Amino acid sequence: MGEEFYCILKLVSGEEILSLVMVDENDGDPIIVLQNPVTMKAYHNHHGAHIKVKPWMELASDDFFMIKLDKIITMTETKDKKLIEIYNDYIKDDDSVESYGSGGSVKPSTKMGYISSVEDARNNLEKIFKGIKES
Tell me, yes or no, whether 93 and 55 share the same domain: yes
> How many structural domains compose the chain?
2
DSSP letter for 57, please: S
Tell me, yes or no, whether 61 and 114 share the same domain: no
State the maximum Cα–Cα separation within the chain, in Å, rounded to a whole number: 78
Q: Return the HEC string of 83-130.
A: HHHHHHHHHHCCCCCCCECHHHCECCCHHHCCCCCHHHHHHHHHHHHH
Tell me, yes or no, whether 71 and 113 share the same domain: no
Tell me, yes or no, whether 75 and 34 share the same domain: yes
**What was the pLDDT predicted at 130?**
87
- Structure confidence at residue 36 as a pLDDT band (50, 70, 90): very high
List beta partners, residue 72.
11
Tell me, yes or no, whether 36 and 60 share the same domain: yes
Tell me, yes or no, whether 92 and 102 share the same domain: no
76-123 pLDDT tens trace:
999 999 899 989 988 887 544 554 555 556 666 656 666 778 888 888
Tell me, yes or no, whether 105 and 135 share the same domain: yes
CATH number for 44: 2.30.30.100
Tell me, yes or no, whether 52 and 22 share the same domain: yes
Tell me, yes or no, whether 135 and 73 share the same domain: no
Tell me, yes or no, whether 81 and 49 share the same domain: yes
pLDDT at 33 over 90: yes
pLDDT at 65 over 90: yes
Tell me, yes or no, whether 90 and 106 share the same domain: no
- Domain with 110, as residue range(s), is 98-135
- Structure confidence at residue 39 as a pLDDT band (50, 70, 90): very high
Tell me, yes or no, whether 107 and 82 share the same domain: no
Q: Among the listed ranges 10-19, 62-71, 93-102, 118-127, which one has the minimum average pLDDT value? A: 93-102
